[in-house]
Structure 1
Amino acid sequence: MTQHTRTPDPTTLNAERRDLLDLLGKHRGFLRYAVSGVSDEQAATRPTRSELCLGGVLKHVSAAERTWADFVVNGPGEPVDWESIDWTDPPPEVLAHQAEFEMTGDDTVAGLLATYDDVAAATDALVATVDLDRAQPLPQAPWFEPGASWTARRAFLHIVAETAQHAGHADIIRETIDGQKTMG
């Protein structure tokens, strides 16, 4: 299902918004390059000691970006009691998060890239329009300071960092598969 969100015209945006969109575009491009030209089978392989595969990285980055963009608009979702999870029988929301890192039989590289494009277009439209100073309380989690808030700007910077980190993971996986690397 393709959303038809218009890409913002950079000439109508201030320098900060153009910079955010440029950084997002650059790191998304690195991730896309790492998965370009691989078969569905290659995208599902785990050629390193890591549990990560190219399709799973792409799926996770799409889900993470969608989640943080939703946070900018709607604030934190339902809290997860991370301290009380029975890891031998995790709840559905934890299983869903873990499935973000796997390429299932229904997933294709083309489908995952189309989803990623839709998510990116929606985020770009949000970067172009949302009040960057608008703050939302962070969800309750052991890795966040209790009571802390992030502005939309900080959430977008987090999306950039998350994308860059996982583009690096994808680059290592791809180089292991067939020697292609993003740079060098």
Structure 2
Amino acid sequence: MTNPDDVAPATARSAEHADLLAALASHRGLLRRTVRDLTDEQARERPTVSELCLGGLIKHLAEMERRWTRFATGGAEAMESVPIDWAHQFRMLEGETLEGVLADFAQAAAQTDAFVGTADLDRKWPLPSAPWFEPGAGWSIRMVVLHLIGEISQHSGHADIIRESLDGAKTMG
């Protein structure tokens, strides 16, 4: 059964836009399914040797969507215009709730989708200077969206392991 949250908006510019939006929605839906029926305390727990917790993964992905959408709209300078709190973005802090981080994730996703639905996917920007990017390389908006799909998928896998460690539940099981 399809979750209504997993369906891409009907405002896509082309079939390719619709496919990309549907892939983003599907992978986000899997992540949301991973945290279904958890308490804030469970979302904050770190049941493995990793520093990762479920709420922190969702916070990280919301920030990454915003960061890469800024890149897609204005290049590396726009991407880096908002500082990142690397120490806290992977943690769900006291006072933060699972409901709140999910709402923030939904807001970031809506902003991404609104942009991607009509973007020129061939528009290309030089990547920021970083040891993991080839010097002088650039990414099209299409590549940014594919990167976001990969990032969400990778962290959904992490989330599934954390959830199974918490209470035995599996996203797909």
Establish whether residue 9 from structure 1 lines up as the match of residue 25 from structure 2.
no
The CA deviation at 1:13 is 3.5
User: So what's the TM-score if we normalise by structure 1?
Assistant: 0.84
Equivalent pair of 1:79/1:140 in contact (CA under 8 Å): no
* 1:75 aligned counterpart, secondary structure: helix
Rg larger for? 1
Runs of 4+ in 1 over 6 A off after TM superposition: none
Alignment RMSD: 1.7
Q: CA deviation at 1:128?
A: 0.8
Q: For structure 1, which runs of at least 5 residues remain unmatched after alignment?
A: 1-6, 81-92
> TM-score scaled by structure 2?
0.89
Aligned ranges 1:71-110 → 2 under 5 Å: 71-77=71-77, 93=83, 96-110=85-99
- SS of 1:182's equivalent in the other structure is coil
Q: Structure 2 vs 1, CA of residues 124 and 78 (structure 1 numbering), >3 Å: closer, same or farther? A: closer
Q: Which has the higher contact order (CA 8 A, sep 6+)?
A: 1
Aligned length: 164
The corresponding residue for 2:104 is 115
Contact kept in structure 2, 1:60 and 1:100, CA below 8 Å: yes
> What's the counterpart of residue 47 of structure 1?
47
Q: Could you tell me how far apart the structure 2 residues matched to 1:152 and 1:124 are? A: 12
Tell me which amino acid in the other structure corresponds to 2:18. R
How far 1:79 moved relative to its partner?
A: 9.2
Equivalent residue of 1:136, what SS? Answer: strand
Structure 2: which 5+ runs fail to align?
Answer: 1-7
C-alpha separation in 2, matches of 1:151 and 1:142: 19
Q: Give identity over the alignment, percent.
A: 51
